[in-house]
Chains A and B, each alone.
Chain A
Amino acid sequence: MSTHRLGLKEKLLLAALECSKGETDKSFTGEDLLVEAWKQDPQAWGLRGYELQHPDLEKLRKEIDSRGKSTGSQSLVNNGFLAKQEGRIYRLTSKGLAAAARLRQPGKSVDKTVQMKVGRELHGKIKTTLESPIFRSWIKNPDQPKLFRDAGYFWGIGPGSPAGTVRKRVSEVDDVLQAAYQFLNDRGVSEIADARGKVLFDRNDLDRCSQFHRTLKERFAKELAILDPEGLGSVKDNRQLEISRA
């Protein structure tokens, strides 16, 4: 597979897909990632003048996290494609997995095993939302939840949570939904089934989860703004979702 037409971030995502074997709970080091990326494209990831002999760690750092000055806010970690666990240990997020799967063969139906893994991964995340007691109480009574405490329970944040955590947790839900919509759109289907034909999730599930999440963000916008004054803002996120749904 040629990766020459892709940008550096996309190439890195593909390398992360290899390192993780398509599993979002499998972690890998920055070095693993760099070596994999360099094997796939030595010209892109090699040390200048020694492209075929040595990979360049600095190039990786620029793309992968906020240390790169010029690309910090657009890095793979900040954009939710990779999650940093500790030190230089990373894992692929659901969003990252879905995006990487799309890159395997742009515009075509991609590798079946990876597709299955993406479907399963997204199913797991969507199921978490659908089975949450907060979601269940909301579908029974749309006036629920009335307290930020309940919404916080859904997101996994509280009044003392750091701004970065708040932003990450809230955007994670949108990322998953966005990836799931994209997954359906790419395949031109309205539901995803496993290998045996059992339906895992459908567009109605995503619509309902999106409405629920939008409601939470709008209802508790003030509290979120206090916890994360420099947050990306729910309005922008929602717009992104609307585009994905279309």
Chain B
Amino acid sequence: MTIERVGKIFFDDLGTLMASTRWISTHDEGIAEWLKNARRAYQVDRSNVQEQDKICILLLKDSEAHGHARIGLLDVGGATLEDIERWSKWNDPQASSRGSGLLEEETQGNGGKAYMFSLFTGPSRILGIADRTRNCQGFDGPAQTLDRGTPGFMPSVAEGREVHDVDCKSELQRALAPYGLEFDDLPGDFRKVVERRQRFTLVEGEKPVDSYRGRIDAQTLIPKVLRHDQTMLAVQQTKIYAIHNGVTLNVGKPLELEAIHPYPGLEGPFIYEIPEELVDEDGVAQSTTQGGTKARGRLILWSSEHNMPARHKVLRPRWKLSYSAGPQMLGSKSISELAPGTPGAEFIYGQVELETLAAYATHGRVRPKDGPLVQAVNRFTTEQIRQLAKQINDRRRHEQDSDELDDIHKENKILDEFKNKFMPSEGLGGNGNRGSDGAGPRPDSPPPPPPPLGTIPSSIELQWSDDKVLRVGSGVSIRLSTILQARIRDDTGRPVTAVNLEWATDNEQVARVDNGILKGRHRGSCNIHARVVGTSIRSTPVSVEVWIIDHVLLTPRSLDILLGTKETITAEVTNDQGQRATDVLLEWAHDADDQLILRINPFGAVFGNRTGRTSITAGARGVGDEPVWARVRVDIEVRPNPEAPKRGSGFPKLLLTDRDLDPLTGEVRSGSPDQATLWQEVLDQKNNIWWLNLQSEDAAFAFEKKPNDVKFWRMFHAQQVVEMVVQVHMQQEFTSKGDDEKPDLWLIHKQALERNQIGLKQGMWEELKQYVDTGRLLE
């Protein structure tokens, strides 16, 4: 194919100008570009400023009767005619480097200009004094026009181009006048450098857009500038002062990013060398060094003492992973994007340094563009974040004294009974079952007869048939009360409550029982029984077999579970002697960061608790005590359920985390610092349970106070009971409107409430603790 071109490539001038400038939309982005340019101008291939002289001043002035608001950046580089002329060319990627070949941070050829063009309505200019020569170019004209985008010498060629024999100090004095400043008002170290070098550059613009009545919100703007990815190197390598309306900010000191205190005990930084090869999302290996031609990169993670997303103003903007390729900053991604739902990840931020990522730079450098290498690096990073997050999360758990727990467990039972009097639907003396006639008041129904209870134990019944063998994998622990469900009766068959049971085994080598928990130890059989403490009343023995596992086969291999519903996985176990069975109790585990996606009981019943994906495995100890897990896992996806979960019958129960058993799993429900204090998952709603989450910040604090100030704890506990009753009433009101019922309204409301509770509580309670202790609020 041949082609004969008859002209140059054509662009629409205004269209191209707009396309090149619209990526700058805020002043912090624009000032970041100015700072980046100033830092670049100080390098050896440009104005070659000594390390100690690298200094600049951000000038901010609100509008007043005599002048408009203006923003400027003053540095000691001293732009020459060559600099000014390079500046005047749009989209010149070599504007900063001039082809010097120095490996340096690249500017985009239009960042600073785009800011001056787009975000000021008055004139904007670059003024350079070097070698007693003045040069000045700039933009002026109506916003968003070609006129404004066409640079020109200011105020004229005669007075703005190569004007010789000017005095640096007088020029600077003149340039500072609109800011209400004189040369002597500038910081001392800046003055000294200018006097020695006899050079300066000022970039500035008049009438910044988006300023309310010409006022510049310096308190908000400056932290944003400092946190900007593109400012990172400038902040590290340059002293930056800021003067607003004649006052030097930060009590006259250079600006600096707020220090982030590390998480106690995990101070870091945690530095990981990036492997030469990483696998991307399609499983394809990606070289991180371009086949060994580039240097290996590293990942640096830092921890924060505080939950970063919960501190909106200060820490949230820095809760991210920044990417750099050599001196180029490529932008950043939020940690929530890399490790969503990972408990503990809220305390981590970091940086990737990898030269080969340079190819992934985008216009504006807000974030690296997506591609196989970025995917592969992200996968690696996510893994490291998860591991560090787990360490942080483990440290966040509050250790709780078991005697105190027993104490509040008793109190909780009393309060739980008490609160039933105030529960909706059936009124005083009701049994908590939901009415079927809507939400309106109903006449009190007569209280149900109390169940006849016995007082003197006579026998123990197990919900386990006599001829059935209890098979347990070696190393697996099971709670016998959950599996065998012992009931104590008197001699007339009435149930007897509040009786202590103890369990015993006839062969501790095979299985040991401790506090009602049986643990399989070595291959063999034994019998266990329950006994009423202090009596000779015993249950019938249950035969137990402990299996040494050879392998486990799980089926099905993939499951879709609707939220709030249950599916069962069959685990066929083959033991070291070749016997097989599907009723061997095993350990179950899944690999999602959010462990609350699922609840799994020892029999393999899987309950969908939150939407998400994970994969499950099961196992026990094998030959030589080595753990044996099913090699082929079951992929699970919990999907939204179009049917809203219905709450169970009876009065809702308030249970304690870290003490009460979860009826789904038969295990103690662990509390979590990242859940609401009054915690109810979808499956809890089905079971009509609320949890008082003792790991939440406020509950943990109140619990800590209890030994010395029991009233404090009681006050807290009582408040939570009241809160629960209120929520149950609201839930009832939102979800019992017959044909008008809109249960999703309640769910949306509850989710929003919890989101705010979780987000705000951690930050607030860190300070409220001191208030409660001392009566004083922190500054």
Binding site for B on A (CB under 8 A): 127, 130-131, 135-136, 139-140, 191, 194-196, 198-202, 204-205, 208
Closest Cβ of chain A to B560, distance in Å, is 12
Q: Mark B442-455, 1 if CB is under 8 A from A, else 0.
A: 00000000000000
Of the residues B282, B558, B574, contact of A195 by C-beta under 8 Å: B282
Taken together as a complex, chains A and B put the C-alpha atoms of A204 and B631 apart, in Å, by 10
Between-chain CB contacts (< 8 Å), 14 pairs: A130-B555, A130-B556, A131-B556, A135-B555, A136-B570, A139-B555, A139-B572, A191-B632, A195-B279, A198-B615, A199-B632, A199-B633, A204-B631, A205-B632
Q: Which of B556, B572, B631, B632: most chain A CB closer than 10 A? A: B632
Please tell me if B553 contacts chain A, counting CB pairs below 8 Å. yes
Residue of B nearest to A194 (CB): B283
Residue of B nearest to A141 (CB): B582
Residue of B nearest to A204 (CB): B551
B283 to A196, Cβ gap below 8 A?
yes
User: Quick one: which of B218-271 are within 8 Å of A by CB?
Assistant: none
Closest Cβ of chain A to B379, distance in Å, is 9
B283 to A201, Cβ gap below 8 A?
no
A200 to B555, Cβ gap below 8 A?
no
Please tell me if B284 contacts chain A, counting CB pairs below 8 Å. yes
A139 to B632, Cβ gap below 8 A?
no
Chain B residues with Cβ below 8 Å from A196 are 279, 283
Closest Cβ of chain B to A140, distance in Å, is 5
Taken together as a complex, chains A and B put the C-alpha atoms of A136 and B559 apart, in Å, by 14
Closest Cβ of chain B to A111, distance in Å, is 15
Contacts A136-B570, A139-B572 given; indicate if A202 touches B555 (C-beta within 8 A).
no
Taken together as a complex, chains A and B put the C-alpha atoms of A139 and B555 apart, in Å, by 10
Taken together as a complex, chains A and B put the C-alpha atoms of A130 and B574 apart, in Å, by 16
Taken together as a complex, chains A and B put the C-alpha atoms of A127 and B632 apart, in Å, by 11
Please tell me if B529 contacts chain A, counting CB pairs below 8 Å. no
A199 to B555, Cβ gap below 8 A?
no
B555 to A136, Cβ gap below 8 A?
yes
Closest Cβ of chain A to B710, distance in Å, is 53
Residue of B nearest to A137 (CB): B570
Of the residues A140, A195, A202, contact of B284 by C-beta under 8 Å: A195
- Going nearest first, the 6 A-B pairs with the smallest beta carbon separation are A195-B283, A131-B556, A139-B572, A196-B283, A140-B582, A130-B555
A200 to B632, Cβ gap below 8 A?
yes
Please tell me if B557 contacts chain A, counting CB pairs below 8 Å. yes
Closest Cβ of chain B to A203, distance in Å, is 10
Size of interface on B: residues with Cβ below 8 Å to A = 19
Binding site for A on B (CB under 8 A): 279, 282-284, 551, 553, 555-558, 570, 572, 574, 580, 582, 615, 631-633
Taken together as a complex, chains A and B put the C-alpha atoms of A242 and B556 apart, in Å, by 26
Chain A residues with Cβ below 8 Å from B558 are 127, 131
Residue of A nearest to B283 (CB): A195
B279 to A131, Cβ gap below 8 A?
no
B632 to A202, Cβ gap below 8 A?
yes
Taken together as a complex, chains A and B put the C-alpha atoms of A194 and B633 apart, in Å, by 13
Taken together as a complex, chains A and B put the C-alpha atoms of A201 and B630 apart, in Å, by 11
B633 to A208, Cβ gap below 8 A?
no
Taken together as a complex, chains A and B put the C-alpha atoms of A199 and B558 apart, in Å, by 13
B279 to A204, Cβ gap below 8 A?
no
Taken together as a complex, chains A and B put the C-alpha atoms of A140 and B580 apart, in Å, by 9
A199 to B570, Cβ gap below 8 A?
no
Chain A residues with Cβ below 8 Å from B574 are 204
Closest Cβ of chain A to B636, distance in Å, is 13
Given contacts A140-B582, A195-B283, 5 further A-B contacts (CB under 8 A): A131-B556, A131-B557, A196-B283, A202-B632, A205-B632
Contacts A205-B553, A208-B572 given; indicate if A191 touches B631 (C-beta within 8 A).
yes
Taken together as a complex, chains A and B put the C-alpha atoms of A136 and B282 apart, in Å, by 32
Contacts A136-B570, A139-B582 given; indicate if A202 touches B631 (C-beta within 8 A).
yes
A201 to B582, Cβ gap below 8 A?
no
Closest Cβ of chain B to A220, distance in Å, is 22
A127 to B570, Cβ gap below 8 A?
no
Q: Which of A136, A194, A201: most chain B CB closer than 10 A? A: A136
Taken together as a complex, chains A and B put the C-alpha atoms of A145 and B608 apart, in Å, by 31
Chain A residues with Cβ below 8 Å from B282 are 195
Chain A residues with Cβ below 8 Å from B283 are 194-196
Chain A residues with Cβ below 8 Å from B633 are 198-199
Residue of B nearest to A195 (CB): B283
Taken together as a complex, chains A and B put the C-alpha atoms of A140 and B573 apart, in Å, by 11
Chain B residues with Cβ below 8 Å from A135 are 555
Chain B residues with Cβ below 8 Å from A198 are 615, 633
Taken together as a complex, chains A and B put the C-alpha atoms of A96 and B516 apart, in Å, by 57
